[in-house]
Amino acid sequence: MEKDFAHPMLTDTLSLRHRKGKIVSAEEAIRIIRNADVVATGGFVGAGFAEEIAVQLEDHFLRTGGPRDLTLVYPAGQGDGKAKGLNHLAHEGLIKRIIGGHIGLAPKLQELVRDNKILAYNFPQGVVSQLFRDIAAHKPGTISSVGLGTFIDPRLDAGKLNELTRLEGEDLIDVMSIGGKEYLFYKAIPINVAILRGTTADSDGNVTMEREALTLDALAMAMAAKNSNGFVIVQVERTADRGSLNARQVKIPGILVDCVVVAKPEHHWQTFAEQYNPSYSCELRVAMQDLPHMEMSARKVIARRAAFELRPNSVVNLGIGMPEGVAQVANEERVIDFLTLTAEPGVIGGMPNGGLNFGTGINIDALIDQPYQFDFYDGGGLDIAFLGAAEVDGEGNVNVSKFGTKFVGPGGFINISQNSKKVIFLGTFTAGGLKVSVDTAGIKIVQEGRDPKFVSQVEQKTFSGKYSAMRRQPVLYITERCVFSLCEQGLELIEIAPGVDLEKDVLAVMGFKPIINKPPRQMDARIFNRGPMGLKDDLLTIPLEDRLTYSPEENLFFVNFENLYVRSSEEIQRIKEIVERILTPVGKKVYTIVNYDNFNIVPELVEEYSEMVKFVMRFYEKVTRYTTSTFLRMKLGDELKRRDLAPYIYETREEAKKALSQLQERESS
């Protein structure tokens, strides 16, 4: 990068370095930015956003007309929906192009996109986050399956948001095949300037984040800029003497930092809603029982129904808006301690916050950098995700990213929805003036919403129903009045709330006819009572009798030991007795599948349990087992092998069922 000015941090004058170090004013810092630079900004809503730098950059542009034609690259939405965050940079001439995960919190940027004043691309949030690491490593780009089948896919919109981008914008995403599987290739974009935020910096530019709510992509972005021969500006709230910071707390090493700016207090709030909350930065823990309960409403009905999908020991993601209510219900029902709730910027455990505090959390177990959180998500680490749904069509496609002239963007939605083991979409059945009453009799539609949400075709495909169904991903769509499930043919109606008329309140308000294979069952009546639902008992206690089921039509015996903890010899004996009681009257051997997901057993009982398994094998024609626990597969597999029983334990139910079907086919042939 060519420098035609003498910046105080870029001079070779040794005396200046010793006198001033890397600490400069905001005005001096933004002079690093040149025309046509690619600028990366950190932040999640308001957490971690360098507001002081953004304010100064806006002021400098309005006074001088420069810098001009910047490309803005950012992973998450950064703004308050009004004037803060990236809204400061929304000036024609200042910005030429944006490449970001979310734009909904920056209405002024939306206006430039809508008026075709700038080029605009959406990438999935996790992809942008991971792309910084690949840029830092001088890789050509990021290869990912995230985005296939959605508007990000080059065979659809290639993430291009307006006509100007479709006509003049370069293609930043390619489709490629590796080992016979399709992937998307997101091209690397060298970063000229990274604008980041921390808490404390020393004069050498080492930065800690002890009072920040999130650490985000700061390290990856700093490396991406530095290895692109670019510059790194970090906003902090205070400075420290050289060598006085705890090295283990340094999140951005000084070797990556060019300028440090000490912000005014009003431009360094912890989030855009909280000046400072010590529980957000893990300095104290709050009493969860003191958190307010939700008022009974359509929103609470949806959250309560969704909470029935929770399972003990699950790792969960909650999207912004409607899904936030699931955490509140879990806390009310005293089951939150049996779950691990997460948020995409790196929060693990505790209670995620909502609104302008979204992305942060209280009483968390751990905080990791955002790229690693998306590595975990993309690799299938989430057991279940609860996400919003603004539009749904008959194929099960979901739109949360574009509505007429309003551009929102997917944020982390595509990463999460494509890769979670199970996905639950939440939203009211209609929008715009919907009024309902809720009592023990169920739901009554007092005033229907003006805007149907179940439409003939979604405006933009943020989630692909066909792609999900092809991968046999379990998906539910929960509203206040009914529940749908995704099947190969599309959306199937499976539940309806008491008090709701199927024809008038559901079918007549939809833009397509859902699949109805059998009369929908009623939603659980406890959802509509004002007292606790007793979810804790449901979550932790499944009677053994309900775990063992036989289907005469398939001659299939299903053993559901998910989340079962065997603690005594008596429990092993009971299992043996129930199997005998169910299968003895059948009069023939049965095909069997055993689910060992999250199964646990006292170590000294493993041998006794395996002997019981050997005994009940007399009832089985063939048996397959599955669990996602590698340790359990090895431990139980070894015990079965010692007893001359088939030792192989599959990883998923689909694999176990497929293996059993193959055994049946061999025998029949």
Residue 339 to residues 283, 315, 424, 475, Cα–Cα distance (Å): 22, 6, 16, 20
pLDDT in tens, 300-350: 999 999 999 998 889 999 998 889 999 999 999 999 988 999 999 999 999
CB-CB neighbours of 350 under 10 Å: 25
pLDDT at residue 640 above 50? yes
Q: Which two tokens stand for residue 377?
A: 């998500």
**Contact (CB, 8 A) for 292 and 266:** no
Query: Backbone dihedral region of 555: left (phi > 0), alpha (psi from -120 to 50 degrees) or beta?
Result: left
pLDDT of res. 14: 38
Residues 6+ apart with CB under 8 A from 404: 459
Instruction: Please identify which residue in the block is written with the tokens 């279940």.
Output: 384
Domain layout of the chain by residue ranges? 14-136+189-267, 288-530, 541-668
CATH topology of domain 288-530: Glutaconate Coenzyme A-transferase (3.40.1080)
425 SS3 class = strand
Can you spell out the DSSP letters for 512-534? Answer: SPPB-SSPPEEPPGGGGSSS---
Gap between the Cα atoms of 159 and 409, Å rounded: 9
pLDDT of res. 665: 66
Residues 6+ apart with CB under 8 A from 35: 66, 67, 68, 69, 70
Q: Return the higher-pLDDT residue of 2 and 538.
A: 538
pLDDT in tens, 377-435: 999 999 999 999 999 999 999 999 988 878 889 999 999 999 999 999 999 999 999 99
pLDDT in tens, 547-565: 999 999 889 999 988 878 8
Average pLDDT for residues 170-180, to the nearest whole number? 96
Gap between the Cα atoms of 343 and 320, Å rounded: 10
Instruction: Please identify which residue in the block is written with the tokens 């100007």.
Output: 164
**Which numeric CATH code is attached to 541-668?**
3.30.750.24
Query: Quick one: pLDDT band at residue 542, thresholds 50, 70, 90?
Result: confident
Residue 332 to residues 99, 480, 655, Cα–Cα distance (Å): 40, 19, 37
3-state DSSP: the chain helix, strand, coil percent, rounded to 5?
Answer: 30, 25, 45
288-530: same fold as 14-136+189-267? yes
Average pLDDT for residues 347-355, to the nearest whole number? 92
Q: Which two tokens stand for residue 407?
A: 């551009």
Average pLDDT for residues 35-45, to the nearest whole number? 97
pLDDT of res. 404: 80
Gap between the Cα atoms of 159 and 172, Å rounded: 9
Residue 533 to residues 26, 330, 355, 528, Cα–Cα distance (Å): 54, 11, 26, 9
pLDDT in tens, 467-505: 999 999 999 999 999 999 999 899 999 999 999 999 999
Residues 6+ apart with CB under 8 A from 104: 77, 81, 110, 406, 407, 408, 409
pLDDT in tens, 589-626: 998 988 888 788 888 888 899 899 989 999 998 888 87
Gap between the Cα atoms of 294 and 292, Å rounded: 7
Residue 136 to residues 131, 192, 227, 490, 577, Cα–Cα distance (Å): 9, 12, 6, 42, 61
pLDDT in tens, 222-254: 999 999 999 999 999 999 999 999 999 999 999
Torsion of CA 163, 167, 169, 175, to 10 degrees: 100
pLDDT of res. 494: 94
pLDDT of res. 566: 85
> Pairing between strand 556-560 and 590-595?
parallel
Residue type, 92: E
pLDDT of res. 554: 86
- Which entry of 51, 237, 344, 391 is annotated as an active-site residue? 344
6 SS3 class = coil
pLDDT at residue 286 above 70? yes
pLDDT of res. 250: 98
Lowest-confidence segment of 151-160, 308-317, 630-639 by average pLDDT: 630-639
pLDDT at residue 442 above 60? yes
Lowest-confidence segment of 234-238, 370-374, 496-500, 528-532 by average pLDDT: 528-532
Q: Which two tokens stand for residue 627?
A: 């669990």
- Backbone dihedral angles phi then psi of residue 657, each to the nearest 5 degrees: -70, -40
Full 3-state SS string of 120-180: EEECCHHHHHHHHHHHHCCCCEEEECCCCCCCCCCCCCCCECCHHHHHHCCCCEEEEEECC
Can you spell out the DSSP letters for 273-311? Answer: S-S--TTTTTS----GGGSPPPPSSHHHHHHHHHHTT--
Lowest-confidence segment of 9-23, 297-311, 537-551, 572-586 by average pLDDT: 9-23
Nearest Cα to 123, choosing from 424, 400, 414?
414
The CATH class of the 14-136+189-267 domain is alpha beta
443 SS3 class = strand
Torsion of CA 642, 645, 650, 652, to 10 degrees: -120
Give me the numbers of helices (H) and strands (E) for the chain, helices first please.
18, 42
Say whether 168 is catalytic: no
The mean predicted confidence, pLDDT, of the chain is 90
